[in-house]
């Protein structure tokens, strides 16, 4: 039987190890990722505590996790761009700027989600 498409325990374990390696690299090499992890460590449990019902809880905890994901992808794009094109190039700069913009938009989503859910409770 061919192993094509089959994800057995070994492949799943390897994928997990590579993911942990990526998280560790993000932590070790990216100050923005470290800061956003610290923010998520506060916001995720707080969102689970203050959210009323499952949908509010998801609306509070999902955006910070998406920020972390986008930051890792942005860092990956930057690493590849720096490897392939160490000298300045307009397209390289554009790729980096667009990755940064994606993180920024998710940070705004986080602020908006928290604001829309908590603002009525404060008034």
For residue 39, say whether it is annotated as part of any ligand binding site.
no
For residue 16, say whether it is annotated as part of any ligand binding site.
Answer: no
Give the integer Cα–Cα distance in Å for 79 and 38: 23
By C-alpha distance, which of 71, 62, 66, 70 is closest to 32? Answer: 71
| pLDDT values of the chain reduced to their tens digit, one per residue, 123 residues | 455 667 799 999 999 999 999 999 999 999 999 999 999 999 999 999 999 999 999 999 999 999 999 999 999 999 999 999 888 899 999 999 999 999 999 999 999 999 999 999 887
Q: Judging by beta carbons within 10 Å of its beta carbon (0-12, 13-18, 19+), is residue 83 exposed, middle or buried?
A: exposed
Domains of the chain with bracketed CATH: 22-122 (1.10.287.3610)
pTM over 0.85: yes
Q: Give the residue numbers marked as catalytic.
A: 71
**Block residue for tokens 């940064």:** 100
Q: Residue 49 annotated as binding? A: no
């Amino acid at each position: 039987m061919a192993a094509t498409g089959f994800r057995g325990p070994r492949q799943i374990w390897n994928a997990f190890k590579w993911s942990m390696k990526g998280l560790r690299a993000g932590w070790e090499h990216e100050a923005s990722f470290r800061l956003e992890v610290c923010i998520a460590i506060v916001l995720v449990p707080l969102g689970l505590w203050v959210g009323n019902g499952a949908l509010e809880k998801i609306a509070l905890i999902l955006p910070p996790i998406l920020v972390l994901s986008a930051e890792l992808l942005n860092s990956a794009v930057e690493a590849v761009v720096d490897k392939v094109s160490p000298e300045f190039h307009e397209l390289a700069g554009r790729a980096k700027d667009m990755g940064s913009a994606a993180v920024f938009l998710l940070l705004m989503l986080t602020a908006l989600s928290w604001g829309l859910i908590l603002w009525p409770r404060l008034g």
